[in-house]
Amino acid sequence: MWIDVIAVLPEMFSSAFEYGVIGRARKKGLFTLQVHNLRDFTEDRHRQIDDAPYGGGPGMVLKPEPIFAAVRSLLRGWTKDREKVVLLTPQGKRLDQQLLVELSVLEHLILICGRYEGVDERVREQLVDEEVSIGDYVLSGGEIPAMVIVDGVVRLLEGVVGSRESLIEESFQKGLLDYPQYTRPYDFEGIKVPDILLKGDHQRVKEWREKKARERTAQLRPDLLEKWEGSRKR
């Protein structure tokens, strides 16, 4: 997979993907990430990327020309099932595991990071395939949301996370929260590991984990449990 990011503050990405699972995947060439400075696509002397909003009001708006120039230079002209342009904005579709899975099957993903008060509407209308928000809160720019997407998408790529099983087992992939996990020591400050996990009865461990995952989801995220039960009935 090839990911291009268009950012006002590309420096923010410099060390974000050098470490851990994602860093290793990048070194192994399992994906390519290129971060582009929006200012490099300006043509004026001042390298201006923003301007005051028509009609007045506070703040600045990202100008259309540099964003159009950047995206046009990066697009390969493939079909939408292989290549997508995504704008990070609080107005977008809320990111969830399902959306990450959909993005992870693309061959080419272009992420545009918004900043300031907004982005010229013509970018949204003419250039962008999907607007994505990472949650109902406002950050100072789309750079961190773009990092969230890169991390979430890359770990779904073949060969990045050790076993496919650990991905499939994962809470949000299945629609339930995780079951409780324990490791050594058996007794930590008087709190012991549940005995069922020590007996080597895989079937009973599986049942216990399912029960715990359901209990925890019911308690903390009843909305998820409802969705999960609905999907099991179909």
Cα atoms in the 13 Å half-sphere on the side-chain side of 170: 15
Please tell me whether 22 is known to bind a ligand: no
CA 53/CA 206 separation, integer angstroms: 58
Select from 40, 41, 63, 43 the least CA-distant residue to 51: 63
Given 20, 57, 135, 222, the residue binding ligand ADE (CB under 6 A): 135
Select from 115, 102, 107, 105 the least CA-distant residue to 146: 115
Given 29, 77, 137, 234, the residue binding ligand ADE (CB under 6 A): 137
Residue 142 interacting with ligand ADE (CB under 6 A): yes
Residue 139 interacting with ligand ADE (CB under 6 A): yes
Residue keyed to tokens 């540099």 = 66
Residue 59 interacting with ligand ADE (CB under 6 A): no
Residue 133 interacting with ligand ADE (CB under 6 A): yes
Q: Is 29 left (phi over 0), alpha (psi -120 to 50) or beta?
A: left
Give the binding range for ligand ADE (CB under 6 A) out of 13-21, 86-94, 101-109, 187-195: 86-94
Cβ closest to ligand ADE, residue 135 vs residue 222: 135
- CA 223, 136, 121, 35 dihedral sign is negative
Minimum gap (Å) between residue 70 Cβ and ligand ADE: 17
Given 10, 64, 66, 114, the residue binding ligand ADE (CB under 6 A): 114
The neighbour count for residue 12, using CB atoms within 10 Å, is 17
* Residues within the interface to ligand ADE (CB under 6 A): 88-90, 114, 133-135, 137-139, 141-142, 145
Q: Which residues are annotated as a binding site for S-adenosyl-L-methionine?
A: 114, 134-139
Q: Which residues are annotated as a binding site?
A: 114, 134-139
